[in-house]
Structure 1
């Protein structure tokens, strides 16, 4: 008898007739009959989209073992989708079960399942470090927390690429410090003020300008006021003494152009 868990597969493949396996088969058959009657029965789906997705994940430096672990499936099943079983003279699978397809297609190349040495975009890392500096955390303090030199932190904070291992460390540090007062961890008030001023001069977006799901999004832009990109946002920058962000500067210029156009129109009339 195999080590396969009790259920439908063990009933069909291993001949187990225990209560658990028998019940699993009865549930399967009942659901199948209902789906056939409803016209929604789809026991197999095309394997090609899954094959393409596996190759995409491999191009992101995810090995089959990592993909299988993330999908919760056996690595050999992925090998069959890609290459079939050459020892049996079979080529890549043309059809697979929907559950398997859904599990593999749900896998994405994230920080948690990429190899530590894989090189990725530093965008999210840069945004997190810059936001921490804007919150008053000096680069020297961040260097200590990240166990690296201040020079390396400076390179990171202005870099284009980073390895996954470092990106994870910065992400975890950001999650730990984003809402913590540096003064509570030994930072002197004048150092905090100087650090914040340096970030403001550089135009680095603060923690509050980002949502958790936008930090790593290349298409996302920081929202300093909650209304950035509008005239209301530009006014908020002025009222709150926040350095004008590019989107609000553009909105302010558009408003000024409209005012000039209205004035010229009034003169002509």
Structure 2
């Protein structure tokens, strides 16, 4: 595949079209200005890029996907990581600043992962369960995703979920969390059964989750607005919901503190 028209094609392929000539003149103009200002930096250390690429790979991003997202040639990344074994050259020590910046800007988001990449099911599980908690029958959610209803529950219990499925569930959650299931064909009985099913299992509704907490393994749902405190424990009693782990921990810790203080010393 030929290079796009620009400075690289002017230098490497000898193209002298208007676009390539203009790119070359802009490059020379910017280079001259930078030399005068003392800011000319044609090369930067490749080590930060090497570390970042390896981090992205540890997040299940393939080198081809990383290169595509950064808009660079995959062979350039291979040279940074491993050098050119066929030529006997070691890993590249320096690289162009714009290439380095493009690679460092790539993040391992769901959108950047290959569709069939297996990832943690945590965020997918929390979103689906939250929808059930507000009355969405699981068979309705399965139909929304184009899945067989029997496979929906299986998906929520797997150790991994595919990136494309996680994206689909995230889009479904964004579309349905404020919608009334009854407006989408769910019966009143089905809604009641879904809510009861979720309540029996302690599944948190959307209102208990901040958007940035849904995918965070360290986060817990905040059912009461005070979860993680003794007040939160009693708030659970008030709304007749089982105390969440942070509230139980806070309540038990307070009880141990009071016991250690002895009678009449609690303040």
TM-score (norm 2): 0.83
- What is the aligned partner in structure 2 of residue 110 from structure 1? 109
- What is the aligned partner in structure 2 of residue 219 from structure 1? 218
1:26 aligns with 2:50: no
* 1:56-75 map, 5 Å: 56-75=55-74
1:53 aligns with 2:52: yes
What is the CA–CA distance in structure 1 between the aligned matches of 2:119 and 2:46, rounded to whole Å? 29
* 1:113-262 map, 5 Å: 113-262=112-261
Gapped runs of 5+ residues in structure 1? none
TM superposition shift of 1:193: 2.2
What is the CA–CA distance in structure 1 between the aligned matches of 2:219 and 2:198, rounded to whole Å? 20
Contact 1:10/1:21, CA 8 A, preserved across alignment: no
TM superposition shift of 1:128: 1.1
Q: Deviations over 1:39-64 (max 9, x none)?
A: xx654332233224324434544332
Q: Is the partner of 1:254 in helix, strand or coil?
A: helix
What is the CA–CA distance in structure 2 between the aligned matches of 1:266 and 1:54, rounded to whole Å? 57
Contact 1:11/1:25, CA 8 A, preserved across alignment: no
TM superposition shift of 1:262: 4.7
Q: Deviations over 1:174-228 (max 9, x none)?
A: 1221211111112122321221121111011111222222211222222222221
RMSD, aligned α-carbons:
2.8
Contact 2:3/2:9, CA 8 A, preserved across alignment: no
Query: Cα distance 1:251–1:67, how it changes in 2: closer, same or farther (>3 A)?
Result: same
Number of aligned pairs? Answer: 261
Contact 1:209/1:223, CA 8 A, preserved across alignment: yes
TM superposition shift of 1:88: 5.2
TM superposition shift of 1:260: 4.1
Query: Cα distance 1:234–1:26, how it changes in 2: closer, same or farther (>3 A)?
Result: same
Gapped runs of 5+ residues in structure 2? none
Query: Cα distance 1:153–1:101, how it changes in 2: closer, same or farther (>3 A)?
Result: same
